[in-house]
Amino acid sequence: MGKADPVTRPVKLPEARSGATVVPLSPAVLAGIGAIQAAIILAFIAPLTALIPLSVFIILCIIAPFKPSMRFFMPVITRGIRGNNAVALTFDDGPSPETTPHLLALLKKYNVPATHFVIGAKAAANPALIKDMLAQGHTLANHTMNHDVFIMLKSSARLGQEIEQCQGVLADHGVRPLMFRPPVGIVNPRLWRELLVRGMHCVIFSLRAGDMGNRRVSGIARRIVNSVKDGDIIILHDRALSTEQLVAPWLREMEQVITGIQAKGLRIVPLADLIQQPVMTAVKDGAAQGPVAAFYDGIAGAYDKEQNEGFISVLRKAEHAAVIARLPSFVKKSDRVLEIGSGTGLYTLELARRAKEVVAVDMSDRMLGILKSKAQDEHLSNIGYRAGDIMDMNFDNRFNHICAFSSFEYVPDLDRLIVRLAGYLEPGGTLYFTTAHKGFLRFWAQVGNAMRQGVWLHARSIHKVRKALLQAGLEPLDITTRGATSIFGRGLVLEVMAKKQ
């Protein structure tokens, strides 16, 4: 069977949002800056040596697209969590009428889950096969609309269109993939931004069969089984073979892959379990879909542990102690409280113990899910949950207090945010929040975050916060700096309390 004809599908690209500021700061950017600086210095010492750092940078840029595991251009997921004796099967290039029904029957026979990185054009042409994949419990991910192997050489607009059109096809089946695999596993410097604005991650693989897209069937199982290790993401292909006579040998190879892996004492688990991140989600109107939701959905399971380790734990403990000491002074049993950026509930549970009702808002569905479990364990039934962007939400009632702890950094327009929140405060109500304090040390934390999340966290001065409060008709009661005071500045965190007159 020949290559599928390209399918043109109307596409609506993501609209500009009031949410996070996307800044995909990769090692390549820093390496480029460093190479230029080194070249300038060397040019004054020995002019010809100035070519050395520039040449090294160019060589890295040539190699990096073909070696995404270098993470030179962007973060990529190349393997899963080790220690669970588990691997994941992924199939590229489907669905194909010649192979997919046989593959699904084989997976069902062994009760094995798989993730299918589907081509949008093929999915549009074979909706029944997509329906069967979902009905059998498999997950779907994005492999572009038309599988153009040269897509990374084309414009950002074209790359984004290929991703978005495939998302649109799968949205017709009620799912939104969160994972993307580029054709031939090649990345480029523009891909990270295109994925960030769509709330997606890049998944490659740690073990391949060398099957050349099902052009080389013989020996697939042997190559996989001999090399497979705990945590491997295995790539195989679900695409039409050159002749019908090869379907049976291919299926035997697929069966031997499954039985061979299991014979080695390894479990085949869903990709989401192996990488501990969701691979797809249901299409939901109004749900946050940007980089912040995607990042926190991805780290939700490890978030609490992360907050209690390393340098960040020192900062968080100081912030936590200040907040817990402050709450009894203004939160009463009759109060309604709105908390923005509730996360896994570090402060939400404390607010719920003290107030009549708490509405917890967060970008991440998974973070809210963990919060719900904690609340159930404590038998707290006075918490409501809202997933999404606070700038897009409306509330039926006003609140006695609005709180936010280290979440306003994600909002570029603080003035607009505080005006909006002031409208939901009762007269005499309190706005209480902590946020990043602008300074030298904070700047480097912002750089680190841009490299990790691809998002710039906004830090504010005391003057900026005070001005925003006054413009919104709020009376500043206290603005205090907390944590890591040094010769470079006063504290990394601002603790702010204001009152609606």
Q: What is the pLDDT of residues 182-215, one digit of tens each?
A: 999 999 999 999 999 999 999 999 999 989 889 8
Q: How far apart are CA 436 and CA 445, in angstroms?
A: 10
Q: Enter the pTM of the model.
A: 0.89
Among 24-33, 51-60, 310-319, which stretch is predicted with the lowest mean pLDDT? 310-319
What is the band of 9 on the pLDDT scale with cuts at 50, 70, 90?
A: very low
Contact between 162 and 183 (Cβ < 8 Å): no
pLDDT (0 to 100) of residue 305: 87
Among 6-10, 70-74, 322-326, which stretch is predicted with the lowest mean pLDDT? 6-10
The model's pLDDT over 102-135, given as tens digits with 9 standing for 90+, comes to 999 999 999 999 999 999 999 999 999 999 999 9
- Per the listing, tokens 């936590």 go with 320
pLDDT (0 to 100) of residue 392: 87
The model's pLDDT over 416-473, given as tens digits with 9 standing for 90+, comes to 999 999 999 999 999 999 999 999 888 999 999 999 999 999 999 999 999 999 999 9
Nearest to 416 by CA among 438, 392, 385: 392
The residue with greater pLDDT, 484 or 353, is: 353
Residue 7 has pLDDT above 50, yes or no: no
- Per the listing, tokens 């994972």 go with 179
Nearest to 385 by CA among 369, 403, 399: 369
Nearest to 456 by CA among 442, 440, 467: 442
What is the band of 486 on the pLDDT scale with cuts at 50, 70, 90?
A: low
Residue 1 has pLDDT above 60, yes or no: no
Nearest to 410 by CA among 350, 369, 361: 361
pLDDT (mean) for 85-105: 97
Nearest to 159 by CA among 116, 124, 202: 202
Nearest to 7 by CA among 118, 146, 144: 146
3-state secondary structure of 198: coil
pLDDT (0 to 100) of residue 346: 92
The model's pLDDT over 228-287, given as tens digits with 9 standing for 90+, comes to 999 999 999 999 998 888 999 999 999 999 999 999 999 999 999 999 999 999 987 555
Q: How far apart are CA 6 and CA 146, in angstroms?
A: 6
What is the band of 363 on the pLDDT scale with cuts at 50, 70, 90?
A: very high
Among 12-16, 25-29, 310-314, 385-389, which stretch is predicted with the lowest mean pLDDT? 12-16
User: In whole numbers, what is the pLDDT of the chain averaged over residues?
Assistant: 92
